Amino acid sequence: MKLPPLADAPVFRRAGRLLDALLYASVVAAVAILVALVCVVTFEVVMRYAFNRPTRWVVEFSEYALLYLAFLGGAWVLKEEGHVKVELLIEILSSHVRETLHVITSLAGAGVCGLFCWVSSTYIWEIYGTGEILFKAVLVKKWLIMVIIPPGLLLLTLQFVRRAFTMPTRSAGLAA
Q: Are 73 and 27 in contact (CB under 8 A)?
A: yes
pLDDT of residue 167: 75
Instruction: Say which residue, 31 or 85, is predicted with more confidence.
Output: 31
Instruction: Using pLDDT thresholds of 50, 70 and 90, give the confidence band for residue 51.
Output: very high
pLDDT(20) > 90: yes
Q: Report helix, strand and coil shares of the chain as percent, to nearest 5.
A: 75, 0, 25
pLDDT of residue 7: 61
Number of domains into which the chain is organized: 1
The string of pLDDT tens digits covering residues 68-110 is 999 999 999 999 988 877 777 778 888 888 889 899 999 999 9
pLDDT(118) > 70: yes
What is the rounded radius of gyration, in angstroms, for the C-alpha atoms of the chain?
20
Q: Are 120 and 153 in contact (CB under 8 A)?
A: yes
Distance of CA 86 to the CA centre of its chain: 20
Domain hosting 122: range is 5-172
pLDDT of residue 142: 94
The string of pLDDT tens digits covering residues 53-62 is 989 899 999 9
Helix (H, G, I), strand (E, B) or coil at 83: coil
Angle between helices 58-79 and 10-49 (to 10 degrees): 150
Give the separation between CA 158 and CA 49, rounded to whole angstroms. 46
Q: Which amino acid is at 149?
A: I
Best CA proximity match to 80, nearest among 161, 172, 3, 170: 172
Best CA proximity match to 72, nearest among 14, 159, 1: 159
